[in-house]
Amino acid sequence: MLLIIDFGSQTTHLIGRRLRQLGILVEYADGENAAAVMKKLKKAGNMPMGIILSGGPASVYEKGAPTMDRAVLASGMPILGICYGWQLMAKILGGKVESAHHEYGPELLTHQENIFKLSKTKHTVFMSHGDSVTKLPLGFRAFASTRQVKNAAVVHKNNRYFGVQFHPEVDHSEYGLEMLRYFAEKICGEKISEFQLDPKEIISRIKDRVGDKKVLCAVSGGVDSTVAAFLIGKAIGKNLLPIYVDSGLMREGTTERVRHIFTKLIKADLVVVEAKSRFMKALKGVTDPEQKRKAIGKLYIEIFQEEARKHPEAGFLGQGTIYSDVIESKGSKKASNIKSHHNVGGLPEELQLQLLEPIRDLYKDEVRELGRILGLPEEMVMQQPFPGPGFAIRIRGEVTPERLQQAKAADTIILEEMKRAGLYDRVFQCFPVLTGAYSTAVKGDARVFAEVVALRAYESRDVMTSRWADIPYEVLQTISSRIVNEVPKVSRVVYDITTKPPATMEWE
């Protein structure tokens, strides 16, 4: 077992997920209670074999920044510090950390010494930091650097301390898993084994928790809510009551797809709630992204309260929440709130339903793999995800009926052309954003001052990091031409080529 000390990184849980892939158990602790957790584990005869210090959003010198007891460093165990975790280790041990050389996104890492025994000594890693270690503590030496950061990877061989400024846990860091494996296996002495997702275990936990009560299950037609509903249905059968709220904010054909899923694939008494006008009323005059998300979340809860009153025998509300939703909504004590997901944040007491989220600790690629194991069709497992708030967060500014139709029309064009070019299945998501910015165009020899539409298309596995998709110019040209010709009041199309980090998947 390895101990992960959480300093609030968006990817702390992802470190544990990567170790889980290697068959390694993990325990989590905050910096403040890490020493106490270690004592407790030792007393129980389960002392960890190594420690990983996570990243975090703070600066080590700012007031109230997370810290840890020096006893952690004096434990004699191997320690790997990642980003903030490395900076904090350096500060405590007498090094110097400064606000310099900001790096967000992919950077080329060059190894001067192949400490991790990798097959390549030049490869891409993902960075997300504003501070860096400019003076090494005594006994450390650098063995890898980027174009800006000399001390991008360091080692103290005698103490078995390692520090990396990048994030090896994210999918887009090449050889990241290999580095974590080397630390766990070769430095800490962990035994590596293959991990397999087990739906039977999840189904059994649902059975034990729910008993003979009914579950109102929020479904959207997406892979997350479908897999969650399928697991719940396997556990409780006819006591599953799927509810689809037709907000009018989803892609064309979503209602029909939901009906197909819950009449053909999962035999259940589907309830479809028509609520288009209610959502438009709730969004009237709202322009702030967070307020939009909260208004949508509030209305969803109101609707489920109404449905819950119709089913007093129900004891649970099932949701397809996954871990990326949780962490972006400030899922740990020291994490930043990136955006408020409508399905995260708890339920009002008057709803009197317990939350049931069977895939809450999983990532998108794990959910898809679970869907395959459960026997769901590949086209359903691999369909592009769509946000719960729908087009509302792809329209910058107020959501009006006219702008909603513009967004839907542009979206249809993008999907048609990506599928025609054989690219739809090669990207994680592709969609338009009505930017709220306006530019001059010439249409029919006349001046037009109209809105700019941004095209967002990217590759990802687990939603935690992404790269923009390399779409051929001719496909981009076709999409652009069709949108400016077929969607009213659009002046031009731009292509968003920003990675995550620093950008998020959605604009709002």
Contact status, residue 188 vs residue 2, Cβ threshold 8 Å: yes
83 is a catalytic site residue: yes
Cβ of 356: how many Cβ atoms within 10 Å? 25
Contact status, residue 361 vs residue 327, Cβ threshold 8 Å: no
Instruction: Pick the catalytic residue from 13, 129, 156, 167.
Output: 167
Contact status, residue 244 vs residue 274, Cβ threshold 8 Å: no
Q: Please list, in sequence order, all residues whose beta carbon lies within 8 angstroms of the beta carbon of residue 428, skipping any fewer than 6 positions away.
A: 384, 385, 458, 459, 460, 461, 463, 466
430 is a catalytic site residue: no
Alpha carbons 43 and 50: distance in angstroms, whole number: 17
Q: Which of 67, 150, 136 is nearest to 97 (CA)?
A: 136
Contact status, residue 491 vs residue 449, Cβ threshold 8 Å: yes
Task: Kindly state the greatest CA–CA separation across the chain.
Answer: 81
Amino acid at 482: R
Sign, Cα dihedral of 172, 174, 175, 180: negative
311 is a catalytic site residue: no
Q: Which of 92, 94, 84, 76 is nearest to 38 (CA)?
A: 76
Contact status, residue 428 vs residue 460, Cβ threshold 8 Å: yes
Contact status, residue 218 vs residue 300, Cβ threshold 8 Å: yes
Instruction: Pick the catalytic residue from 83, 188, 217, 430.
Output: 83
Contact status, residue 462 vs residue 367, Cβ threshold 8 Å: no
SS3 441: strand
340-346 long-range contacts, CB within 8 A, separation 24+:
340/290, 340/293, 340/294, 340/297, 341/293, 341/297, 341/388, 342/293, 342/296, 342/297, 342/300, 342/388, 342/389, 343/218, 343/297, 343/300, 343/319, 343/388, 345/297
Q: Please list, in sequence order, all residues whose beta carbon lies within 8 angstroms of the beta carbon of residue 116, skipping any fewer than 6 positions away.
A: 175, 178, 179, 182, 183
Distances (CA, A) of 185 to 49, 117, 121: 10, 12, 20
Instruction: Pick the catalytic residue from 103, 107, 111, 169.
Output: 169
DSSP structure class, residue 395: B
Residues with a catalytic annotation lie at 83, 167, 169
